[in-house]
């Protein structure tokens, strides 16, 4: 499947920089993501992974540098514009609409994507296309039985999945997943990652996954980018990363992986 | 299931008998009671509008007297300057004027949330109050402006001495039905709005503003539209209220009246669709009877509010909805 595909950069940052006072959260980072890949962004706490994703997704503005998405400069584009272009994200601390049902969380993303949230004189439930698509997404994320529950009442693992499902419902081209398995028991991690990676691959979505658990990263991500103190330390396959001495010294040494 | 949602069929099943009961009321109750309920229904429309912001968008306005007052004064100006007495002209004027003011104030307010939003709405409403208070040559100052009994439905329904009707008779029958019809339409339209994709987007903003932005909902824009609709509902209520009261004074623009609208909504329960309606009607009875029975009526209301917040934070309807499954289980053999 992978043969014959040209390696095209879907995302490219050029000397992207963000300082918080004296902290160089993201420091002149050149980061590229190739279309169709599932990439892991690793690094210790404070390495700048989440800040990098926040910059690209538009949550915070960059101090300097450039962000190119499919060749277009989106450095100062609004969040809304970036979503329109096909950039979506999930959040490290689950960000859901807690008093809406799980199904409505996903349905809202679909309504928004299709420009239907402007409709104020028709019932949301009377749109079968949106309802069916939302139910389909719930099904593929293994959440069908939880559809009618309010999002605030789901378990942590279910909430993590729903968070990704909401981002997925926007039909993104590039999806950032900020620690999709944090706060979840070790036993639940593999099923969650299996669901996410299979959906991402079958939807031909490019995914950037921030992850702390090295077992997860080495199992699911063919390319790994390691960050340290706001800069990229290494970039390569799981084997290359494992063998990289700088990564071992700065990152893997502190991990308790087997 | 979210307490704000609910299958429409079940709601319609008990809404229809209720509307029928309301429709036969003028034949069963003395005129005074019907007029009293008219006030309650008018306040309910205002509370319904207010709760689109509080319950559905998560914004607590302390300045909704502004839109109620603008609706009322717009009617008074239509009488004073255009010499019109048609209720439809009154409603149109109330809606247009409150829409204009809400659109303007909304632009300023919706960029803020929480206490900043509350204080800003309060301050802006006080500006209108002081204008009504000081510009007495236009607004009549503290004397206010009189509004005569209107003609209804394009002048076809009037108060006629020949028909044996005095003002109370008109207000307790024809005008009551007019208010009831507008009320039912307002409730139905608001029901659709809060269950529409737009309504879902507002609830999403209420629950999680950042995430709403990240599913592509332009938060300020949606808040502004909610603010506008909320203001129009409250302005419409103000326009319906003036003929009942016969007079509009700056009191209706004062912050205390904004507080009453908050009270209606908290009393009924802001996390339910029908809470503000029930709250407004009950508050109206409560205040009327408290005023009639004691000079310390404000203390009575104060005690009610304290007890309410401590014992029934979900309000009357919210608490009833929570207890209902328990009652059903108890009733089942």
Alpha helices in chain A (DSSP H): 49-57, 79-85, 102-113, 128-140, 156-168, 186-202, 214-220, 238-243, 245-250
What pLDDT shows up at residue A3?
Answer: 46
Biggest CA pair distance of chain A = 61
Q: Contact, B124 vs B109, CB < 8 A?
A: yes
The verdict on B252 touching A (C-beta cutoff 8 Å) is no
Give the span between the Cα atoms of A97 and B293, in whole angstroms.
Answer: 46
Q: Which of A158-167, B6-15, B217-226 has the lowest mean pLDDT?
A: B6-15
Give the span between the Cα atoms of B255 and B133, in whole angstroms.
Answer: 13
- Write the pLDDT tens digit of every residue in A247-257: 888 876 654 44
Say what the pTM is: 0.92
What pLDDT shows up at residue A117?
Answer: 93
- Write the pLDDT tens digit of every residue in B52-65: 999 999 999 999 99
| Residue B69 to residues A177, B81, B151, B234, B252, Cα–Cα distance (Å) | 50, 18, 21, 9, 5
- Whether B266 is in a domain gets the answer no
**What tokens does A38 get?**
């599932």
Task: Give me the number of domains chain B comprises.
Answer: 1
What pLDDT shows up at residue B329?
Answer: 80
- Whether B257 is in a domain gets the answer no
Question: What is the nearest CA distance from B59 to chain A, expressed in angstroms?
Answer: 16
What pLDDT shows up at residue B156?
Answer: 77
Nearest to B263 by CA among B272, B276, B274, B249: B276
Nearest to B49 by CA among B218, B220, B313, B264: B264
Q: Are strands A223-228 and A231-236 parallel, antiparallel or unpaired?
A: antiparallel
Looking at beta carbons, which residues of chain B come within 8 Å of A122? Answer: 192, 196-197
Confidence category of residue B1, pLDDT binned at 50, 70, 90: very low
- Write the pLDDT tens digit of every residue in B291-319: 999 899 999 999 988 998 899 889 999 89
Give the span between the Cα atoms of B69 and B255, in whole angstroms.
Answer: 11
Structural domain boundaries enclosing B158: 21-251
What pLDDT shows up at residue B2?
Answer: 42
Taking residue B133's Cβ as centre, other Cβ atoms within 10 Å add up to 17
Question: Strand, coil or helix: what is A203?
Answer: coil
Give the span between the Cα atoms of A13 and B44, in whole angstroms.
Answer: 55
- Mean pLDDT taken over chain B: 91
Chain Cα centroid distance, residue A61: 18
Does the structure show a pLDDT above 50 at B5?
A: no
Q: In the predicted model, what is the mean pLDDT of residues A119-142? A: 93
- Whether B292 is in a domain gets the answer no
What pLDDT shows up at residue B90?
Answer: 97
Looking at beta carbons, which residues of chain A come within 8 Å of B1? Answer: 101, 148, 150
Question: Given A88, A101, A120, which is nearest B198 (Cβ)?
Answer: A120
Looking at beta carbons, which residues of chain B come within 8 Å of A59? Answer: 210, 214
Residues 89-148 on B with a CB inside 8 Å of A are: none
The percentage of residues in chain A with a pLDDT greater than 90, rounded to a whole number, is 73
What pLDDT shows up at residue A257?
Answer: 44
What pLDDT shows up at residue B7?
Answer: 55
- Write the pLDDT tens digit of every residue in B78-131: 999 999 999 999 999 999 999 999 999 999 999 999 999 999 999 999 999 999
- Whether B301 is in a domain gets the answer no
Confidence category of residue B162, pLDDT binned at 50, 70, 90: low
Looking at beta carbons, which residues of chain A come within 8 Å of B204? Answer: 97, 100, 108
Asked if A120's CB is within 8 angstroms of B196's CB, the reply is yes
- Whether B320 is in a domain gets the answer no
- Mean pLDDT taken over chain A: 90
What pLDDT shows up at residue A168?
Answer: 95
Give the span between the Cα atoms of A216 and B154, in whole angstroms.
Answer: 72
Q: In the predicted model, what is the mean pLDDT of residues B125-141? A: 92
Question: Given B5, B197, B208, which is nearest A96 (Cβ)?
Answer: B208
- Whether B319 is in a domain gets the answer no
- Whether B271 is in a domain gets the answer no
Question: Given A57, A100, A124, which is nearest B196 (Cβ)?
Answer: A124
Phi, psi of B296 (to 5 degrees): -95, 35
Q: Are strands A64-69 and A72-73 parallel, antiparallel or unpaired?
A: antiparallel
- Whether B311 is in a domain gets the answer no
The verdict on B189 touching A (C-beta cutoff 8 Å) is yes
Question: What is the nearest CA distance from A227 to chain B, expressed in angstroms?
Answer: 25
- Write the pLDDT tens digit of every residue in A55-85: 999 999 999 999 999 999 999 999 999 999 9
Q: In the predicted model, what is the mean pLDDT of residues B181-202? A: 96
| Global ipTM | 0.90
Chain Cα centroid distance, residue B45: 3
Q: Contact, B60 vs B262, CB < 8 A?
A: yes
Phi, psi of B113 (to 5 degrees): -135, 180
Q: Contact, B68 vs B241, CB < 8 A?
A: yes
């Amino acid at each position: 499947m992978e043969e014959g595909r040209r390696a095209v950069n879907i995302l490219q940052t050029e000397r992207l920089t963000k300082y918080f006072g004296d902290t160089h959260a993201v420091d002149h980072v050149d980061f590229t993501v190739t279309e169709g890949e599932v990439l892991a962004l690793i690094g210790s706490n404070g390495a700048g992974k989440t800040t990098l994703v926040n910059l690209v997704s538009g949550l915070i503005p960059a101090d300097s540098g450039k962000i190119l998405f499919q060749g277009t400069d989106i450095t100062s584009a609004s969040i809304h514009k970036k979503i329109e272009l096909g950039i979506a994200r999930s959040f490290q601390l689950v960000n859901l609409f807690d008093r809406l049902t799980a199904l409505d969380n996903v349905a809202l993303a679909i309504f928004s994507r299709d420009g239907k949230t402007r409709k104020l004189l028709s019932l949301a439930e009377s749109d079968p296309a949106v309802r069916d698509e939302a139910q389909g997404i719930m099904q593929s994320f293994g959440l069908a039985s939880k559809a009618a529950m309010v999002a605030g009442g789901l378990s942590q693992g279910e909430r993590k999945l729903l968070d990704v499902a909401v981002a997925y419902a926007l039909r993104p081209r590039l999806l950032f997943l900020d620690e999709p398995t944090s706060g979840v028991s070790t036993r639940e991690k593999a099923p969650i990652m299996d669901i996410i990676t299979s959906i991402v691959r079958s939807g031909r979505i490019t995914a950037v996954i921030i992850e702390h658990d090295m077992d997860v990263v080495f199992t699911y991500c063919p390319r790994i980018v390691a960050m340290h103190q706001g800069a990229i330390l290494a970039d390569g396959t799981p084997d290359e990363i494992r063998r990289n001495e700088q990564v071992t010294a700065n990152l893997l040494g502190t991990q308790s992986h087997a | 299931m979210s307490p704000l949602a609910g299958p429409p069929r079940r709601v319609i099943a008990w809404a229809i008998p209720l509307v029928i009961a309301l429709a036969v009321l003028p034949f069963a109750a003395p005129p005074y009671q019907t007029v009293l309920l008219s006030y309650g229904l008018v306040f309910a429309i205002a509370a319904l509008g207010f709760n689109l912001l509080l319950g559905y968008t998560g914004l607590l306005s302390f300045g909704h007297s502004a839109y109620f007052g603008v609706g009322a004064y717009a009617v008074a100006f239509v009488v004073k300057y255009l010499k019109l007495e048609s209720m439809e002209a009154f409603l149109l004027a109330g809606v247009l004027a409150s829409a204009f003011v809400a659109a303007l104030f909304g632009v300023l307010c919706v960029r803020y949330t929480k206490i900043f939003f509350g204080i800003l709405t309060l301050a802006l409403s006080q500006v209108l109050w002081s204008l009504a208070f000081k510009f007495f040559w236009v607004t009549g100052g503290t004397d206010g402006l009189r509004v005569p009994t209107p003609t209804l439905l394009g002048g076809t329904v009037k108060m006629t001495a020949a028909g044996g009707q005095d003002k109370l008779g008109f207000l307790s029958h024809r005008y009551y039905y007019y208010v009831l019809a507008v009320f039912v339409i307002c409730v139905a339209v608001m029901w659709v709005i809060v269950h529409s994709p737009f309504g879902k987007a507002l609830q999403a903003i209420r629950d999680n503003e950042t995430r709403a932005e990240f599913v592509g909902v332009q938060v300020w824009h949606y808040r502004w539209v909610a603010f506008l609709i909320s203001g129009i509902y409250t302005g419409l209520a103000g326009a319906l209220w003036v003929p009942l009261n016969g007079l509009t004074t700056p009191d209706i623009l004062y912050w205390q009246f904004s507080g009453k609208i908050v009270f209606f909504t908290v009393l009924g329960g802001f996390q339910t669709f029908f809470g503000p309606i029930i709250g407004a009607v009950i508050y109206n009875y409560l205040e009327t009877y408290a005023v009639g029975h004691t000079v310390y009526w404000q203390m009575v209301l104060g005690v009610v509010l304290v007890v309410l917040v401590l014992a029934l934070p979900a309000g009357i309807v919210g608490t009833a909805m929570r207890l209902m499954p328990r009652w059903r289980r108890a009733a089942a053999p």
